[in-house]
A and B are shown apart, each in its own frame.
Chain A
């Protein structure tokens, strides 16, 4: 890892909350416009964040606080590693453990809402993890390396040879971004059946930490999408923003589905598309032998 990689990774750690928070604010504004409302200002998320920092400290158990710090720090580590062009497989393993931290934190409280939320969070991970890992494997079959730097050195955009894997990643993104129809672990609006699911028992600054982690997660996910068009990178950034806009539209037109729908869609359509794409690579592109 060169000094340049280090500095890019650290710069991403500093800048990601600003970008992520602003994107979430734009999300709320666009959602409001799609519903015929005016909506909050685009920096509303930062107001929410600082207000939560200033609330009184209250915690149900100390154990859940440890898990929430784990959730934040592990997600920050994945953002650092992705922008420092490290190993994609390791990044997604760490991300899986970060997501598990959120679920374990909710499991360590005896509130029925957070227990059900944690169960659903585990179910969500079960749905999107195979897609993300298989997508990384498909990228490996193309570039011959798990390293992010290998994608930049690869001659052409990955989207040309991995179109089906890209569609599958979109399905995983909807789950990972906690958007409808797959926002089952923590309903977006708190006055619904789960209250806030996994977040129900967190308040004040600990809820602010979760919000901060979401901003990092959002940047990480969009950066992963941008990797599908890494040369030139600005097309990738536009691609990621377009995907984010598409997620917003889907979020606004879809109702929430049950977990068994989520599991069957992500495993049948998602994993199926990636496997089909891997077979396509084997048969038509023949790049596998290049290894």
Chain B
């Protein structure tokens, strides 16, 4: 494993986008940053800027209004990039799945690498998902 590939696994920067979530999963994602879980010990930073980020974390189902925002954020991220769908809604549409304005899970719009189920997904599950994403990052040449 080269230096860059090793460094890639050690410093995943996250941009978090809340599609049309109920904020349950968003609060759990923020809980990962608190002293109790502290994901920064793995080099994870909540960077907030798609141009700096490696990992797009999406919560909530995609609707007709924010599909363009989600695509825009995804396109602004420089490769190599991964997408993580957090929560039942982001994975499949969840309880909103047959609403008139909902397109479904975010994999209807952008390619998703890691699915984290749960309603809301627990911080442990989210960290587990990040670890899985890092595993996939290490395989990117």
Q: Is the CB of B47 within 8 A of A190?
A: yes
Q: Is the CB of A51 within 8 A of B54?
A: yes
> Roughly how many angstroms separate A189 CA and B14 CA in the complex, as a whole number?
12
Q: Is the CB of A48 within 8 A of B43?
A: yes
- Within the complex, which residue of A39, A47, A50, A192 is in contact with B40, where a contact is CB–CB below 8 Å? A39
A190-B11 contact given A35-B35, A37-B40, A39-B40, CB 8 Å threshold: no
Which of B2-10, B64-72, B90-98 faces chain A? B2-10
Q: Does chain B have a CB within 8 A of A112?
A: no
> Roughly how many angstroms separate A58 CA and B51 CA in the complex, as a whole number?
9
Number of B residues near A (Cβ < 8 Å) is 26
Write out the residue numbers on chain A whose beta carbons fall within 8 Å of the beta carbon of B41.
Answer: 32, 37-40
Q: Is the CB of B52 within 8 A of A196?
A: yes
Q: Does chain A have a CB within 8 A of B49?
A: yes
Q: Is the CB of A55 within 8 A of B7?
A: no
Q: Is the CB of A36 within 8 A of B7?
A: no
> Roughly how many angstroms separate A195 CA and B3 CA in the complex, as a whole number?
29
A190-B8 contact given A38-B38, A55-B79, A56-B78, CB 8 Å threshold: no
Q: Does chain A have a CB within 8 A of B80?
A: yes
Q: Is the CB of B38 within 8 A of A44?
A: no
Write out the residue numbers on chain B whose beta carbons fall within 8 Å of the beta carbon of A58.
Answer: 51, 78
Q: Is the CB of A191 within 8 A of B46?
A: yes
Residues 43-88 of B at the A interface (beta carbon under 8 Å) = 43, 45-49, 51-52, 54, 78-80
> Roughly how many angstroms separate A199 CA and B5 CA in the complex, as a whole number?
24
Write out the residue numbers on chain A whose beta carbons fall within 8 Å of the beta carbon of B4.
Answer: 50-51, 53-54
Q: Which of B10, B51, B78 has the most CB of A within 10 A?
A: B51
A47-B7 contact given A37-B40, A39-B40, A191-B46, CB 8 Å threshold: yes
> Roughly how many angstroms separate A55 CA and B10 CA in the complex, as a whole number?
14
Chain A 44-82: CB-based contact to B (< 8 A → 1; otherwise 0): 101111110111111000000000000000000000000
> Roughly how many angstroms separate A13 CA and B49 CA in the complex, as a whole number?
31
Q: Is the CB of B52 within 8 A of A190?
A: yes
Which of A88-96, A202-210, A220-228, A268-276 faces chain B? A202-210
Q: Does chain B have a CB within 8 A of A200?
A: yes
Q: Is the CB of A39 within 8 A of B38?
A: yes
Q: Is the CB of B11 within 8 A of A48?
A: yes
A142 CB → nearest B CB, Å: 44
B112 CB → nearest A CB, Å: 20
- Within the complex, which residue of A28, A46, A190 is in contact with B49, where a contact is CB–CB below 8 Å? A190
Q: Does chain B have a CB within 8 A of A201?
A: yes
Chain A 95-115: CB-based contact to B (< 8 A → 1; otherwise 0): 000000000000000000000
B48 CB → nearest A CB, Å: 3
> Roughly how many angstroms separate A203 CA and B52 CA in the complex, as a whole number?
5
List 12 contacting pairs A-B, 8 Å CB cutoff, sorted by A.
Answer: A32-B40, A36-B35, A39-B41, A40-B43, A44-B10, A51-B7, A54-B80, A57-B78, A190-B47, A195-B49, A203-B51, A204-B78
Q: Which residues of A contact B (CB under 8 A)?
A: 28, 32, 35-41, 44, 46-51, 53-58, 189-192, 195-196, 199-204, 207
Closest 8 CB pairs of A and B: A191-B48, A54-B4, A50-B7, A47-B10, A203-B51, A190-B48, A37-B38, A56-B79
